[in-house]
Structure 1
Amino acid sequence: MNYLKSVMITTGIAAILICSGAITETIRTDRLEASTGSSRWENQPQELQEKLTKSWSGGIEAIRNTLNENSENENITEWKLFYSLEDSLNTLPNQEHSSFITAFYSNERRTMLETGDIMPALLLHPDHTKAILYWEKHDGTYAIITLESQINANNKPEWNVSHSWITKQPSST
């Protein structure tokens, strides 16, 4: 009888572990599909896609022009472009998410963002120590906010806004 109880208990525990693993995997897969699907601007109408692509390309040109005018030797060609905060967070270490989100939704962003502005994009440096948040404003200018990761007093990386400005529309558009 004790042998039968132990077999049933062991089988029950194994079944619970298998089911919980399957449920966890299903939830993880659903979240992944939902997050990538819902954050993709490609699912939008063609006209909107073209407007966003033109705006984001113009923003990259405005950033290049501004960096050249300020004699900053930053080559943004290798930077990765993101269309959502959620997608960019997937490339950063988990311990940096909170400070990155705080910097992303900074006071500078809140004061520069106005009704009629176009959806922002984010450029992330390959070494994940710098980012540039930008968007086209309703008047054709571009809002640009640079974020940088620095080591704080606790010897941990922390993201902060380093600069913010409004720049003119690139002459090539």
Structure 2
Amino acid sequence: MNRLQAGLLTTGIGAVLLCSGAITETIRSDQLHPHRETLMWEDYSQDLRNKLTRSWSGGLEAIHKVMGQDDDKENLSKWKLYYDLEHAKHQIPRKEHSSFIHVYYSETRRSLLENGDFMPALLLDSEHSKAIQFWEKHDGTYAIITMEKRLDEDGTRRWLESGAQIIK
């Protein structure tokens, strides 16, 4: 191998290492997929936005009626509404993403969600330790799945389902 070939080989290896380091850093810092504040809400038609807003407002009223503790009822107005899991999960520590997503897409959700139901929304409390996933069903009732962050048997904080119900 002559000097020119050795130089090209060395330069090529260096370029590959440099690119892989840059890609790794980009993925680690989430710059590859920056999240937008509005996500795609503005891409929905005005009619669809109105229907979803009406549906979610009805869901909030239904949740307020069935919440057990008075302090939770008072604080419900401080909970933030998310219509998109991707936006909501950025509020939760990265190490909890897996358990949160697992509960969000649980077997309970799969069993309750039917064709004709409205798009689910998510309420997240200000301390990011409780969440309520809800949606209007095709028959006008509301499916509600409550989720909480708890300590597991091994002392790890995980998101777990704490209840599910259908209400009118």
* Structure 2 residue 92 is matched with structure 1 residue 92: yes
Amino acid at match of 1:100: F
What is the percentage of aligned positions where both structures have the same residue? 43
How does 1:5-154 map onto structure 2 within 5 Å?
Answer: 28-29=30-31, 31-32=33-34, 36=36, 39-67=39-67, 70=68, 72-74=70-72, 75-154=75-154
Q: How many Å separate the matches in 2 of 1:23 and 1:129? A: 30
- 3-state SS of 1:31 partner: coil
Amino acid at match of 1:32: P
TM-score of the superposed pair, with normalisation by structure 1: 0.77
- 2:163 aligned partner: 163
Q: How many Å separate the matches in 1 of 2:90 and 2:103? A: 16
Amino acid at match of 1:147: M
Distance 1:113 1:23, change over 3 A: closer
Distance 1:146 1:22, change over 3 A: closer
- 3-state SS of 2:126 partner: coil
Distance 1:116 1:62, change over 3 A: same
Runs of 4+ residues over 6 Å off in structure 1: none
- 3-state SS of 2:155 partner: coil
- 3-state SS of 1:73 partner: helix
Unaligned runs of 5+ in 2: 1-9
Question: What's the RMSD between the two structures over aligned residues?
Answer: 3.1
Distance 1:121 1:21, change over 3 A: same
- 3-state SS of 2:33 partner: helix
Contact 1:40-1:83 within 8 A present in 2 as well: no
Q: Which has the higher contact order (CA 8 A, sep 6+)?
A: 1
Distance 1:37 1:80, change over 3 A: closer
Unaligned runs of 5+ in 1: 1-8, 169-173
Number of aligned residues = 156
Contact 1:89-1:97 within 8 A present in 2 as well: yes
Shift of 1:154: 2.4
TM-score of the superposed pair, with normalisation by structure 2: 0.79
Shift of 1:73: 3.3
Contact 1:56-1:121 within 8 A present in 2 as well: yes
Q: How many Å separate the matches in 2 of 1:155 and 1:25? A: 32
